[in-house]
């Protein structure tokens, strides 16, 4: 009896001891979680935001995403800068240049370009090609980069002597920005392999996202509308521009999206909404594989014939707009094949001053075409040198679009005359 009682007592003591040990371990784990420094908490917050929103969760299993978090948090991270570097290392295996950490300066500049009318820098919109080289998507009109002849398709090799391969996309873009009056040394290469160094002086670049004018000849009046990027104010500015052109009795419209590298997707969709009547604008595909078609409203701001100009600097939100106009037979596309960015990013705040951009969806044109890495092929290719000043009198692309619109309008007049003539025959 005593032996059985002693065994039971020993067993209870053992269980109690194990429970105390387990409870203590749990307490230590809880304490370790709550004892994260602010810098490590920044890393954990970044990981969580990407984990919840990234458009391709299958990638997580492939790269052992949870293990990356664990290994990153084991590093010595004591400052914000160390946290940003750790987040960059953590995001690199995702192999998505558009999912990136934005340091305070870059975060503020990106918000300014999306919501403001000017930025400080050299005026370059950058991306990565299939070989992870930093490529110029487009230059901003009137910027130092444009003045020095940097064009779409050029590669950024070095910034202030540091290789762009070492810097990566986000840091290359960051190095190019800065206070007005300061200089940055940039090494550029052409597709031909030609190298040159350029000393660019940063300055305030007026984005002027919407520009318009009226083109007239002896028989027709045509409107010209250029959109240089899609910031928050653009849809309203486009509405105002289209209303002004209608009041000036334009018969057709040339929409110029050359070197428009994108911006806010919502703004691009809103502009499509002004030009399409109850038609699909774009389909989005999120991490759950759901495709949501966005349909335009019934009322339009302009319903006359159109030509849309695109080139290899036309990217992202401007490709959404161009693709919707082409697939709905609303506008002829003229120019060059577009850049091919079919991914959508969401911008999230991280800590007090920094942010993180996360690719949350891909998009397809109304006919189901995937633009990512493919671009959009125009209906009519233009193998002509581009003007240094888009929309000017020596812009041959605009002149070609103008001539095409005039032929459409003249054919329409002939068709209307034939209809009137047929009605006269019937009435007689």
Longest dimension (CA), the chain: 126
Residue 100 lies in a domain: no
Instruction: Give the start-end residues of each E strand in 68-167.
Output: 100-102, 118-121, 124-128, 134-139, 155-159, 162-163
Assess whether 44 and 162 both reside in one domain.
Answer: no
What pLDDT is recorded for position 210? 92
Assess whether 271 and 367 both reside in one domain.
Answer: yes
Residue 1 lies in a domain: no
What sign does the CA torsion over 227, 232, 236, 239 have?
positive
66: annotated active-site residue: no
- The enclosing domain of 68 has a CATH number of 3.30.750
Taking the C-alpha atoms of residue 215 and residue 53, their distance in angstroms, rounded to an integer, is 46
Assess whether 82 and 169 both reside in one domain.
Answer: no
Characterise 220 by phi-psi region: left (phi > 0), alpha (psi -120 to 50), beta (else).
beta
> Which range of residues forms the domain containing residue 357?
210-411
Instruction: Output the tens digit of pLDDT for each of the chain's 428 residues.
Output: 455 545 444 544 544 454 444 444 443 343 344 457 889 999 999 999 999 999 999 999 999 999 999 999 999 999 999 999 999 999 999 999 889 999 988 888 777 666 544 566 888 888 877 777 898 887 877 788 888 888 888 999 999 999 998 888 878 888 888 888 899 999 999 888 889 999 999 887 766 789 999 988 778 899 999 998 898 889 999 999 999 999 999 999 999 999 898 888 999 999 999 999 999 999 998 898 878 789 999 999 999 999 999 998 899 999 999 999 999 999 999 999 999 999 999 999 997 789 999 999 999 999 999 999 899 999 999 988 877 778 888 899 999 999 999 998 888 766 555 544 444 554 55
71: annotated active-site residue: no
Assess whether 222 and 172 both reside in one domain.
Answer: no
Assess whether 177 and 164 both reside in one domain.
Answer: yes
117: annotated active-site residue: no
Residue 428 lies in a domain: no
Q: Specify the length of the chain in residues.
A: 428
Assess whether 229 and 376 both reside in one domain.
Answer: yes
What pLDDT is recorded for position 24? 43
Assess whether 56 and 156 both reside in one domain.
Answer: no
Assess whether 234 and 194 both reside in one domain.
Answer: no
What pLDDT is recorded for position 173? 83
Assess whether 215 and 200 both reside in one domain.
Answer: no
Taking the C-alpha atoms of residue 81 and residue 85, their distance in angstroms, rounded to an integer, is 6
Token duo for residue 378: 């125009």
- The enclosing domain of 386 has a CATH number of 3.90.226.10
What pLDDT is recorded for position 304? 93
Residue 234 lies in a domain: yes
Catalytic residue among 261, 327, 348, 395: 327
Contacts of 223 (CB under 8 A, 6+ apart): 212, 213, 214, 215, 242, 245, 248, 250, 252, 253, 254
251 contacts 220 by C-beta, under 8 angstroms: yes
Token duo for residue 284: 């989005």
Q: Report the number of distinct structural domains present in the chain.
A: 3
Residue 420 lies in a domain: no
Catalytic residue among 231, 341, 348, 362: 341
CB hemisphere CA count around 239 (13 angstroms): 10
Q: Which residues pair with 199 in a beta bridge?
A: 185
Residue 374 lies in a domain: yes
Q: Which residues pair with 349 in a beta bridge?
A: 355
What pLDDT is recorded for position 114? 61
What value does the CA radius of gyration of the chain take, rounded to a whole number of Å?
28
Residue 158 lies in a domain: yes
- The enclosing domain of 164 has a CATH number of 2.30.42.10
Assess whether 91 and 168 both reside in one domain.
Answer: no
Assess whether 332 and 403 both reside in one domain.
Answer: yes
Assess whether 341 and 194 both reside in one domain.
Answer: no
Please name the residue ranges forming H helices in 74-191: 80-91, 104-115, 144-147, 164-176
Residue 28 lies in a domain: yes
């Amino acid at each position: 009896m005593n032996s059985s009682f002693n065994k039971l007592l020993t067993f209870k003591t053992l269980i109690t001891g194990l429970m105390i040990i387990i409870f203590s371990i749990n307490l230590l784990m809880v304490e370790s979680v709550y004892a994260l420094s602010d810098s490590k908490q920044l890393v954990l917050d970044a990981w969580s935001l990407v984990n919840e929103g990234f458009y391709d969760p299958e990638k997580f299993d492939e790269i052992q995403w949870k293990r990356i978090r664990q290994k990153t948090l084991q590093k010595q991270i004591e400052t914000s800068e160390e946290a940003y570097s750790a987040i960059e290392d953590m995001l690199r295996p995702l192999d998505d240049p558009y999912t990136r950490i934005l340091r305070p300066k870059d975060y503020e500049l990106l918000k300014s370009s999306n919501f403001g009318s000017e930025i400080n820098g050299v005026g370059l919109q950058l991306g990565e090609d299939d070989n992870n080289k930093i490529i110029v998507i487009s230059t901003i009109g009137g910027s130092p980069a444009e003045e020095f002849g940097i064009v779409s398709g050029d590669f950024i090799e070095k910034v202030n002597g540091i290789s762009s391969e070492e810097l990566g996309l986000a840091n290359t873009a960051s190095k190019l920005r800065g206070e007005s009056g300061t200089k940055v040394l940039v090494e550029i290469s052409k597709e031909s392999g030609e190298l040159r160094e350029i000393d660019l002086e940063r300055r305030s670049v007026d984005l002027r996202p919407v520009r318009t004018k009226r083109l007239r000849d002896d028989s027709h009046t045509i409107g010209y509308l250029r959109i240089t990027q899609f910031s928050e104010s653009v849809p309203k500015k486009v509405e105002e521009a289209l209303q002004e052109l209608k009041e000036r009795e334009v018969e057709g419209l040339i929409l110029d999206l050359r070197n428009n590298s994108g911006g806010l997707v919502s703004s691009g969709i809103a502009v499509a909404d002004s030009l399409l009547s109850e038609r699909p604008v774009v389909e989005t595909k999120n991490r759950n594989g759901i495709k949501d078609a966005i349909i335009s409203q019934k009322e339009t701001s302009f319903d006359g014939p159109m030509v849309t100009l695109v080139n290899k600097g036309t990217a992202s939100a401007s490709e959404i707009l161009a693709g919707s106009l082409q697939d709905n037979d609303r506008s002829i596309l003229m120019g060059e094949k577009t850049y091919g960015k079919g991914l959508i990013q969401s911008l999230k705040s991280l800590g007090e001053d920094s942010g993180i951009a996360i690719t949350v969806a891909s998009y397809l044109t109304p006919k189901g075409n995937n633009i990512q890495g493919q671009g959009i092929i125009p209906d009519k290719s233009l193998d002509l040198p581009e003007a240094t000043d888009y929309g000017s009198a020596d812009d041959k692309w605009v002149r070609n679009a103008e001539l095409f619109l005039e032929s459409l309008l003249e054919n329409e007049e002939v068709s209307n005359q034939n209809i009137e003539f047929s009605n006269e025959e019937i009435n007689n």
